[in-house]
Amino acid sequence: MNAIKVSALPLLVISLILCFGCKDNQFLQIFQRDLTLNVIFKNHKGLIKGTPVLLTGSGKQKVRIGEVEKITRTSSGIWSFEITIDSEFKKRVSTNNDFVLYSNPFGTEHDHIMVVDLNSMHTPQPFKTGAIIKGKSYFEYSVMVARKEFDSWVENMAVLSNEFFKTLDQKINEIDIESIKKQLDELIDDIGKFSEEQRQAFEKKTLPELKKRIDQALQYFENHLDEQELQELQKRYEKIKKTIGV
């Protein structure tokens, strides 16, 4: 009987080694601790103990990954919210995430803390328990997203402007007045869809170069086109300025 017990011992040890050696083994999750973080919000309206923490991202559904455990106020009047992230999700939360207070009294969703992906190029660093994080209001987050989208638009506009001027130069050299007028008319339609901020960016970055091209074209076309055709080009440039609001 003792021999059986002794021979079973190595099998038990091997089983434990295999169990603990498996990185994603569900058995190990029993021993994993939740991640505890302290998030600071200027506006804490709607946040109470038990408020859910949801992981979200572009095109992704929100997944509950934790909740608010404790709310404290420091001697300096700062509100700190201790949140716990369930052990199975803590590897998905890093310095490449923002913590956003979603509070919408007119919406169907309840108040919650969103953990959103910043789409940063920086290498994500995992948070350690006890880390202090500065949270954002939903308004602050929306402004940040709008700024990123605008910056991306400006970058794309620079590429499109280069292509636009390349085509325009070609049509000017070919004295293809109809194609030039069509290209300028399409530009006017596009500008009409710009936001105020986009129009200001166009006025600052693209309009000066466009004026230079139009002036060169008018000078080049003097001996090739009649006065009416030249006026048609000038009118379109003036319409572009008017559409921008200059």
Q: What is the DSSP string of 147-179?
A: HHHHHHHHHHHHHHHHHHHHHHHHHHHTT-HHH
The answer to the question of residue 94 being in a domain is yes
> What's 125's DSSP letter?
-
User: Using alpha carbons only, how large is the chain's radius of gyration in Å?
Assistant: 31
pLDDT band at 140 (very low <50, low <70, confident <90, very high): confident
Q: What is the pLDDT of residues 65-121, one digit of tens each?
A: 999 999 988 778 788 999 999 999 888 898 888 899 887 655 556 788 888 887 666
Q: Could you tell me the CA-to-CA distances from 46 to 20, 75, 126, 165 in Å, in that order?
A: 42, 22, 28, 52
Q: Indicate whether 114 and 153 sit together in one domain.
A: no
Q: How many domains does the chain have?
A: 3
User: DSSP readout, 189-228?
Assistant: HHHTT--HHHHHHHHHHTHHHHHHHHHHHHHHHTTTS-HH
The reply to whether the predicted model has a pTM over 0.95 is no
Same domain, 40 and 103: yes
β-strand pairing of 132-134 with 79-85:
unpaired
Q: pLDDT for 28-79, tens place per residue?
A: 444 457 899 999 988 777 788 999 999 986 556 788 999 999 998 877 878 8
Query: Is there a contact between 133 and 39 (Cβ–Cβ < 8 Å)?
Result: yes
Q: Which of 99, 134, 169 is the last residue of a domain?
A: 134
Domain shared by 116 and 69, yes or no: yes
Shared domain check, 106 and 39:
yes
Q: Looking at the predicted structure, is the pLDDT value of residue 170 above 50?
A: yes
Residue 85: give the domain boundaries: 33-134
**Of residues 61, 36, 63, 64, the one with CA closest to residue 51:** 64
Strand order in the sheet with 136-137: 132-134, 35-40, 79-85, 60-73, 52-57, 112-117, 97-102, 136-137
97-102 vs 112-117, strand pairing mode: antiparallel
Residues 153 and 230 in one domain: yes
- In three-state secondary structure terms, 48 is coil
At residue 167, what is the residue type? T
Residues 127 and 190 in one domain: no
- Is residue 110 a part of any domain in this protein? yes
Residues 22 and 98 in one domain: no
Do 108 and 168 lie in one domain? The reply is no
Q: Please check whether residue 139 lies inside any domain of the structure.
A: no
Shared-domain flag, residues 20 and 57: no
